[in-house]
């Protein structure tokens, strides 16, 4: 069962629903990641609560706290996310995966409230913990790109986003691949390359529909509402955005104020 859940959370089957039952705390965490990627935040948070009921500390609880923080950021609550990332860092110990997740989360939290120097410092510390490939170098590249966008450095943002696309392509994660395209589309927009941004966002919109990654589909609809779509009318883009927000609201989150 763990293999099935891992394929939904970090593999090529992110649209699977309903999810299999979890038999271990680690499987509960995988279920939470999988459900959150679909925008089913109520289910995801319930599973994270389950992890913390059966595990009192250590790297897995650290990962659960980092995951909760990432959901809060997706819903626009960077100040609330920082508390959970701080707890994650405190519980990570010497585990490099948990430590890197917490630091990347803290970097994203700081970025979201305009603390760019703190974000940069956390990203550097996270980079020192990374070993090899996998999901974390992709996450590091995402937040590095987002930081460059926030600083108005479009060229650097594009470079980091392109790195994320390259890393995601060999990661085996369909969700990470399409999110990397979302980040690159935003970076291209920030760099003034609207045509390339629109083209990539339209393609990624199709992918998010196929993969059931509703939060990413909503983000793309927000971008295309601003720059225009080559595949959808303005009314169609707004309908997609509103339908995504409504789905997330039914599932325990709220994107309305983002």
131 pLDDT band, cuts 50/70/90, is confident
If DSSP codes are grouped into helix, strand and coil, which group holds residue 208? helix
- C-beta of residue 9 within 8 angstroms of C-beta of residue 44: no
pLDDT of res. 239: 98
Residue 220's closest CA among 53, 109, 231?
A: 231
- What is the mean pLDDT of the segment spanning 3-12? 96
> What residue segments make up the domains of the chain, in order of their start?
132-258
Count how many Cα atoms sit within 13 Å of the Cα of residue 1 in the half-sphere of its side chain.
13
Work out the mean pLDDT of the chain and round it to a whole number: 96
91 pLDDT band, cuts 50/70/90, is very high
**The CATH fold of domain 132-258:** 1.25.40
Percent of the chain scored above 70 by pLDDT? Answer: 98
pLDDT of res. 256: 57
Tokens of 206: 């199709």
- C-beta of residue 123 within 8 angstroms of C-beta of residue 139: no
Largest CA distance in the chain: 51
pLDDT of res. 255: 83
Tens-place pLDDT, residues 196-230: 999 999 999 999 999 999 999 999 999 999 999 99
Tens-place pLDDT, residues 43-89: 999 999 999 999 989 999 999 999 999 999 999 999 999 999 999 99
- What is the mean pLDDT of the segment spanning 133-161? 97
Whether residue 35 is predicted with pLDDT greater than 70 in this model: the reply is yes
| CA gap 173, 135 in Å, rounded | 8
Whether residue 257 is predicted with pLDDT greater than 90 in this model: the reply is no
pLDDT of res. 1: 63
- What is the mean pLDDT of the segment spanning 241-248? 97
| CA gap 227, 144 in Å, rounded | 23
pLDDT of res. 96: 95
Q: At what angle do helices 25-38 and 2-10 cross, to 10 degrees?
A: 30
If DSSP codes are grouped into helix, strand and coil, which group holds residue 194? helix
Tens-place pLDDT, residues 165-203: 999 999 999 999 999 999 999 999 999 999 999 999 999
């Amino acid at each position: 069962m763990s293999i099935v859940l891992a394929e939904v959370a970090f593999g090529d089957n992110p649209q699977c629903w309903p999810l299999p039952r979890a038999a271990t705390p680690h499987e509960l965490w995988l279920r939470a990641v999988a459900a959150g990627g679909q925008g089913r935040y109520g289910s995801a948070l319930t599973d994270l609560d389950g992890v913390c009921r059966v595990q009192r500390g250590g790297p897995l609880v650290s990962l659960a706290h980092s995951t909760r923080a990432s959901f809060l950021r997706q819903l626009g609550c960077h100040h609330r996310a920082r508390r959970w990332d701080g707890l994650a860092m405190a519980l990570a110990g010497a585990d490099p995966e948990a430590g890197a997740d917490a630091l990347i989360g803290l970097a994203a939290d700081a970025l979201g409230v305009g603390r760019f120097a703190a974000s940069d410092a956390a990203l550097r510390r996270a980079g020192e913990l990374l070993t090899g490939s996998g999901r974390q170098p992709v996450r590091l590249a995402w937040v590095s790109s987002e930081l460059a966008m926030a600083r108005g450095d479009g060229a650097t943002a594009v470079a980091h986003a392109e790195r994320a696309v390259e890393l995601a392509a060999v990661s085996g994660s369909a969700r990470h691949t399409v999110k990397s395209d979302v980040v690159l589309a935003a970076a291209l927009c920030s760099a003034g390359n609207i045509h390339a941004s629109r083209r990539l966002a339209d393609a990624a919109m199709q992918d998010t529909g196929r993969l059931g990654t509703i939060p990413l589909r909503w983000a793309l609809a927000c971008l295309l509402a601003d720059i225009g779509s080559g595949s959808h009318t303005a009314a169609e883009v707004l309908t997609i955005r509103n339908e995504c927000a409504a789905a997330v609201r039914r599932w325990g989150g709220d994107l309305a104020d983002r």
